[in-house]
Amino acid sequence: MAEGLSKSLLGTRVFLQSAGIHSEMDIDGFSIAVCAELGVDISNHNSKSFDEIEESGEDIDSYDLIIALSPAAQRRALEYTRDFALEVEYWPTLDPTGLGETRERKLEAYRQCRDQLKARLIARFGGEKD
């Protein structure tokens, strides 16, 4: 959700890439649904893990900022960047997976996460595309 929302809000003002502790094979259907409500299509999104980024040989020096959304991601980002002049921000974010007993309650949890991410992105980077 974070990458899709970022690209929707920021356009080409920033280069960004989503990464996490583990790469997920499939994007969560609830994430797809709540982003689609805002006109953001994340159905073809592919996330990478920190390990996959390292293994691909991407130059970490080309990044300016890592935003971690969980304590585990923050720890990994700090470990990953310890030898680089790279800023790491931690944005505590609701993890909606496993919340809610009904479909509508699950969607409410995902909407809360989506809206939290959107608000943080706007506060940090502004909200207008180039």
CA-based end-to-end distance of the chain: 21
- Three-state DSSP class for residue 90: strand
For residue 11, give the CATH number of its domain: 3.40.50.2300
Looking at the whole model, is its pTM more than 0.95? no
Range with the largest mean pLDDT of 2-16, 27-41, 45-59, 67-81: 27-41
Cα angle 117-94-23, degrees, rounded to a multiple of 5: 80
Structural domain contains residue 30: yes
Residue 60 in this model has a pLDDT that exceeds 80? no
Mean pLDDT for the stretch of residues 14-36? 80
Which residue range(s) make up the domain with 36?
Answer: 2-125
pLDDT for residue 30 is more than 90: yes
